[in-house]
Amino acid sequence: MSASDVQHAETEEEDTGWDAVADLPPSAKLVAKVLEYNDSLTQSQLAEETLLPPRTVRYALTRLEDVEVVSSRFSFSDARKRIYTLTLE
């Protein structure tokens, strides 16, 4: 394996930011874009904004959390809900 092959492999593994989002399904891209324009939203608010089914929004959020571009925290007003925030700049 040459040095350029190693460098290319490292680059693929370290996709961050919007590069990491580019490889995700369209639903995850849509959720990321909606979070980009809104500071933080709950899952139900995301479903309402994107017009996607709640199950699709859950899947998209899981994929976004896997590539570490979305963070979540518990809602102070309702501990059953989580608030999602985009961590990209």
Full domain range(s) for residue 55: 3-86
Q: Cβ distance 46 to 28 under 8 Å?
A: no
Contacts (Cβ under 8 Å, ≥6 apart) of 21: 28, 29, 32, 64, 67, 69, 88
Residue 38, pLDDT score: 93
Q: Taking the model in full, what pTM does it have?
A: 0.79
Give, for all 89 residues of the chain, the pLDDT tens digit.
554 444 444 444 456 678 888 889 999 999 999 999 998 999 999 999 999 999 999 999 999 999 999 999 998 998 899 999 999 76
Tell me the CATH number at 17: 1.10.10.10
**Cα–Cα distance measured from residue 87 to residue 54, given in angstroms and rounded to the nearest whole number:** 22
Q: Name all contacts of 78-81 with Cβ < 8 Å and 24+ positions apart.
A: 81/42, 81/43, 81/44
Overall domain count for the chain:
1
pLDDT, tens digit (0-9, with 9 covering 90-100), for 19-36: 888 889 999 999 999 999
